Chains A and B, each alone.
Chain A
């Protein structure tokens, strides 16, 4: 499996610091893309190139070179990470461009990508041995080192707890609570709110579970699908022993209604909060009743 830590931070150098990996931004000149490029630069992310068809040869903010295609950007910079901001209907084209040009980590921000397009992008990513995060994800952050996403900087601080979340705002809220309680984060990954995800809960878990610096994990799920149940079963099967705390949004949501996220819908018992919470219980994962309780439960688990 492609190692997400290797792609995002590499190995420590002689001074004990991780590397600054290069990042390409697809859709860098758009309103959303340009805003977040500035915010990522502010955070310290090493953005080396942008891609906007029709604007090749120009520069973003007089600094970052813009290319026509990801292929050209990769040839010029050697970057392995790309973040995509194009409108949903152009996503599949942008994803193909990236994956066929050697991108190893594709962070797919757009919301409203058709499921069929996502499925095709996933097939290609598998073939190329690349990781796709999203679509409809806030992205991924290794606090203090690299932010490839649209999350605000303030909730996060460097530490040893990993957070996996379907929801963006709950990721911020819960990370903020964790930070306040003294639990910095080793990595946080936005799974995304779509029915089909490039990186599923179980994939994200497998990517990070063996990191020696990792001390605990927080899983923020929501109604819809069965990725939480499958993760819980996998945790039981692998005998993972580090503390994990969960949260599930949508306990009181009406059935057969889409609650904001394309994936947040309960059909019969498929996707229900009860099903997820009971599987978490089997895996010995306490589930917080409210976001504010996550850090409290984690403190309890860490001290037991």
Chain B
């Protein structure tokens, strides 16, 4: 899961990594109390699970009650790249001397963690040329390695000691919380010489959630996404009007690409998975029926172990129960697809032999 800044900072604090004083809130009443407690001036930072919030105006200075009353609601109601504000963080202004970069990152192709550090921070690391990179196996960073990294980015004396300590704490956090990424950017050297984490980004491994009950409070899922997870399929919600359903992540992604290529706007990425049953597909249709913006459903199935008749049966039940009344465009291939087509021939589902034709149909329908 992708932790928000304030959540990442809670973990930083838990592991002894210094951050500027800050308080998070989800409504203005609590925000007013926080403002009083923190005292002006401070920064208001929108908490949103996408990058680029600074450029989008999601970080604002705040010097007075009047400014607070104006800016807090603006930030609370903003959305960036389709994502809405999840919370607001008020944070004391830091007196910054210099900004650095530090992260522990799971390098998938090398199949090990890497330390990435730089004397240039506060910008996206991809655009930083001057990087120090160290491979550290399963994520454990010994003092010697940490010292070498500190030397390479030019730190000395107390700052070097603080950096070494911070990197080792970040390593402990990464291992214990099973993070794929734990990033401090910028890592600020303050005017008084202290090192603090000014911003943080943590991604944890969802597959390890079962051994991290303590992280469940940070889970940010829409109601629909949560229901989908319970039913054993994966769902990503988007702003379009075509519900894209299929089996297997790759096949659904591929369908999604073709819909978008042809001018359609997907409302869902819905993978019913390898173990789809009539019940789970019915459940998927129930979820979609609750999404009022959906104007058409596109089904792309490659029946392998899952029989396409299993899926056809779910559609028949959905029609019988008046669950769906929007047009369905389907392409069924593989196991028992002839039988499935026969089952659906007198329903409102339009069957196509190729996915390209099905997509043409659903795009015309939804762009009307």
Bound CA span A268–B234, Å: 22
B residues 225-270 touching A (CB-CB < 8 Å): 234, 236, 238, 246-254, 256-261, 269
CB within 8 Å: A-B pair count = 174
Nearest residue (CB) in A for B111 is: A196
Bound CA span A34–B355, Å: 33
Whole-angstrom distance between the Cβ of B124 and the nearest chain A Cβ? 6
Do A167 and B305 touch (CB < 8 A)?
no
* Also in contact, A193 and B249, with CB within 8 A (given A115-B178, A259-B236): yes
Q: B334 near A: Cβ within 8 Å?
A: yes
Q: A80 near B: Cβ within 8 Å?
A: no
B residues 274-295 touching A (CB-CB < 8 Å): 274-275
Do A292 and B356 touch (CB < 8 A)?
yes
Bound CA span A236–B304, Å: 35
Do B206 and A258 touch (CB < 8 A)?
yes
Q: A78 near B: Cβ within 8 Å?
A: no
Do A169 and B304 touch (CB < 8 A)?
yes
Q: B205 near A: Cβ within 8 Å?
A: yes
Do B260 and A252 touch (CB < 8 A)?
yes
**Main SS of chain A's interface residues?**
loop
A residues 184-224 touching B (CB-CB < 8 Å): 193-196, 200, 202, 220, 222-224
Q: A122: which B residues are within 8 A, CB to CB? A: 111
* Also in contact, A270 and B126, with CB within 8 A (given A254-B238, A258-B206): yes
Interface residues on B, range: 35 or more
Q: B108 near A: Cβ within 8 Å?
A: yes
Bound CA span A152–B205, Å: 30
Do A256 and B236 touch (CB < 8 A)?
no
Do A167 and B250 touch (CB < 8 A)?
yes
Do A167 and B248 touch (CB < 8 A)?
yes
* Also in contact, A256 and B335, with CB within 8 A (given A173-B302, A289-B261): no
Q: B49: which A residues are within 8 A, CB to CB? A: 256
Q: B333 near A: Cβ within 8 Å?
A: yes
* Also in contact, A114 and B304, with CB within 8 A (given A260-B271, A268-B124, A290-B356): no
Q: B180 near A: Cβ within 8 Å?
A: yes
Q: B51 near A: Cβ within 8 Å?
A: yes
Q: B326 near A: Cβ within 8 Å?
A: no
Bound CA span A289–B255, Å: 11
Nearest residue (CB) in A for B301 is: A169
Q: A292: which B residues are within 8 A, CB to CB? A: 354-356
Bound CA span A202–B109, Å: 9
Whole-angstrom distance between the Cβ of A280 and the nearest chain B Cβ? 16
Whole-angstrom distance between the Cβ of B168 and the nearest chain A Cβ? 19
Do B178 and A260 touch (CB < 8 A)?
no
Q: B138 near A: Cβ within 8 Å?
A: yes
Do B274 and A168 touch (CB < 8 A)?
yes
Interface pairs (15), CB distance under 8 Å: A114-B208, A150-B274, A154-B335, A168-B304, A169-B247, A172-B334, A225-B108, A249-B250, A250-B256, A252-B256, A252-B260, A253-B257, A257-B236, A260-B271, A262-B206
Apart from A200-B111, A260-B269, 11 more pairs, CB < 8 Å: A35-B305, A39-B305, A168-B304, A173-B251, A176-B334, A195-B108, A196-B108, A227-B108, A254-B82, A259-B249, A260-B236
Interface residues of A (CB under 8 A from B): 32, 35-36, 39, 88-89, 111-116, 119-120, 122, 150-152, 154-155, 165-173, 176, 193-196, 200, 202, 220, 222-227, 230, 247, 249-264, 267-270, 289-292
